[in-house]
Amino acid sequence: MRKLTLLLVLVLLAALALSPAAAQDDAFVIGLLMVGPYNDNGWSQAHYDAAVYVTENLENTELVYLDRVNPADRPGTTPDQLAEELLDQGADVIIFNSDDMKDGATAFATNYPEVPVIHASGDQHWEEGENFVDLPNLGNIFPGMWATKLLAGCAAAMTTETGKIGYLGPLINDETRRLTAAAFLGAEYCWTEKRGMDAAELEFRVDWIGFWFNIPGVTADPTQVSDNFYNNGYDVVISGIDTTEGLVQAKAASEAGTTAFNVAYDYDLACEIAPDVCLGAAVFNWRPTYLAEITEMQAGTWTPKFLWPMPDYANYDDVTMNSTYFIPGTALSEEAAAAVEELKGELAGGLDLWAGPINLQDGTPYIAEGETATPQQLWYLPQLLEGMSGQSVPE
Local confidence band at 15 (pLDDT 50, 70, 90 cut-offs)? very low
Query: Is residue 223 situated within a structural domain?
Result: yes
Instruction: Reply yes or no on whether the pLDDT at 2 is more than 90.
Output: no
Mark whether 385 and 349 lie in a shared domain.
yes
C-alpha distances out from residue 123 to 86, 113, 283, Å: 23, 18, 21
Q: How far, in Å, CA of 324 to CA of 142, rounded? A: 10
pLDDT at 18 exceeding the cut of 60:
no
- Judgement on whether residues 273 and 173 belong to the same structural domain of the protein: yes
Same domain, 160 and 183: yes
Determine the distance from the C-alpha atom of residue 355 to the mean position of all C-alpha atoms in its chain, rounded to a whole number.
24
Whether 361 and 245 share a structural domain = yes
Question: Is there a domain that residue 19 lies in?
Answer: no
Same domain, 157 and 207: yes
Alpha helices in 160-244 (DSSP H): 174-189, 222-230
What per-residue confidence (pLDDT) applies to 21?
A: 34
Question: Residue 13 pLDDT more than 80?
Answer: no
- pLDDT at site 297: 98
Looking at the chain, how many residues does it have? Answer: 395
Instruction: Note whether residue 309 is domain-resident.
Output: yes
Rounded Cα–Cα distance for residues 198 and 192 (Å) = 6
pTM above 0.85, yes or no: yes
18 falls within a domain: no
- Of 132, 99, 94, 128, which is closest to residue 114 (Cα–Cα)? 94
Same domain (yes/no): 158, 231? yes
42, 176: one domain: no
pLDDT of residue 25: 63
Identify the CATH number of the domain in which residue 215 sits.
Answer: 3.40.50.2300
Indicate the pLDDT class of residue 311, thresholds 50, 70 and 90. very high
Contacts of 356 (CB under 8 A, 6+ apart): 366, 367, 368, 369, 370, 371, 372
Reduced to 3 states (helix: H, G, I; strand: E, B; else coil), residue 238 is strand
What percentage of the chain exceeds 70 in pLDDT?
A: 94
- Choosing from 298, 322, 346, the residue where a domain stops is 322
Average pLDDT, the chain: 94
Tell me what the mean pLDDT of segment 205-218 comes to: 97
Q: Residues 169-189: pLDDT tens digits?
A: 999 999 999 999 999 999 999
The values of phi and psi at residue 44, to 5°, are -70, -40
Q: Answer yes or no: do 91 and 59 share one domain.
A: yes
Q: pLDDT value at position 10?
A: 38
Same domain, 336 and 376: yes
Say yes or no: 367 and 318 in one domain: no
pLDDT at 185: 99
- Residues 104 and 135 both lie in one domain: yes
Res 1 pLDDT > 70:
no
Residue 22, pLDDT above cutoff 70: no
Q: Which of 322, 348, 375 is the last residue of a domain?
A: 322
Q: Decide if 51 contacts 63 (C-beta within 8 A).
A: yes
Examine the domain organization and report whether 100 and 221 are in the same domain: no
Instruction: Please give the single-letter amino acid code of residue 368.
Output: A
Whole-angstrom CA distances from 268 to 105, 319, 327 are: 27, 10, 7
Provide the pLDDT for residue 197.
99
pLDDT at 6: 38
- Structural domain includes residue 12: no
Residues of the domain holding 279: 145-283+327-389
Tell me, what's the pLDDT at 24?
A: 52
Is-contact 287 53, C-beta < 8 A?
yes
Mean pLDDT, to the nearest integer, of 89-104?
A: 98
